[in-house]
Chain A
Amino acid sequence: MLSVDVSNGLHKELEALALRNKARAIGVALHDFETGFRFSLRGDRWFHAASTIKVAVLLALFRAADEGRFRLDDSLHVRNRFFSAADGSLFRVSQDRDATPELYSTIGRTAKISTLAHAMICGSSNLATNLLLDFAGVEYARTVLQKAQIDGVELRRGVEDHGAHERGINNEATADGLLDLLSAIRGDFLKPESKRDVIRILLEQRFNSMIPAGLPAHATVAHKTGEISTACHDIGIVYLPEREPYIVSILTEFDPEREGRRETVAAISAAIYRSLVGTEPKANED
């Protein structure tokens, strides 16, 4: 099939999917390393980045380590005390909303930077994210994104900064931008060892109900999800043993707390797989 046909077919299928599932908006970007095929559906539309922004923090962190600013096995003081990007007022992140409650038992003591990086991605820990971003610095992280030529990711603050949110200071991203971010990770922006470690962390993701749910069981995905009341995203590198990987970013926006959001992302993932591989994914095959 010609890539233009694939592109048209996928475009129509994803639009229909979004309509059927009552998504307010979707943005999808894709790069297939097997064929070189690229696809973008509203790839330049800005979305609230939710927790996908943590991948940008991860990139900055490993870049800083590559530059010798610190070592990943260095220890960092764990404290739940952060300052709002809006007015510098103090805020804390909520343990109830964090998937890594064990990290809270280390408050007051230290944790290794590598452990925090793992918690930030695999358990989507907000505490770990803010600690790491605080340490590396928002400005530094923005510079890293600039150096990596990633235009579609706006990192402005840590997470759970409600004061900043109320003033419209949010982390935002486009599907194309997040695709560039994953491309930088898979490319040579980081040292080989850092690249390997970053991908390993993304492969150990604990939340697998979106991109992986739309794929056959033998697929492995280095990915990061992101969910807030209106946004539901997943971005990742999909590895299939029979072919070269592809990178995909799927961003969606819904009315607050609408049901079936993750299923929509999984269905988009399945549609992309079908369009690239030409067969139906069998999620539970042996």
Chain B
Amino acid sequence: MAAIRAGDPRAEERLFERFGRPVALLLDRHTGGRDEREDLFQDTFRLLIEKLRRGEVREPEKLPGYVAHLARNLATEHYRKVVRRKTDPAPPENLDRPTKGGVLDDLLAAENAALARSVIGELSTARDRELLLRFYLGDEDRDGLCRELDLSSVQFHRVLHRARQRYKELYLARLKARGGLQAGLTLLWLGWLWQLAAQGLSTSRGGA
């Protein structure tokens, strides 16, 4: 933090390395994966660096909570403005999937869909399959599903966890089988984070 106050660019890069992923995950959750998460990501780091330079945060142990708070507030404020302006035809609460991307996104989506089909096809019981689909796609409440399907909370999360783990295994297996294809996807994801970080850094430097 002292290095950032001193204007050391390497310290800013370490800040991106440390908080880039959690900030991206938080914003992905609050934006529902839509494109504005990229702008919010940049804004978060620009503001964070400005505040660190001004010495507004001085206790390193409080930094993770502070960054989370900053990113969350930016996302909240963004959607408040959108609602006030009423220029967004689809408020975030009504959007159930991310903004459509280009051809590459469509291709990746096809790959992901195939993996999801495999996972669901491998589930041992019809109840588990129904649980997954209704929880994730039907957007139904956990407690209601548990009651209806006669599941405890622990069983409920175990099914979800196993499904996610299986998806991950298939995902990683595909990486291996296709000789780096998914490595490219992973790298793409990392590259996206890196690009956002670099843009945020240059914006922050430009604004400083």
Q: Please determine whether chains A and B interact with each other in the same assembly.
A: no
Which A residues form the contact surface with B (CB < 8 A)? none
Chain B residues with CB under 8 Å of chain A are none
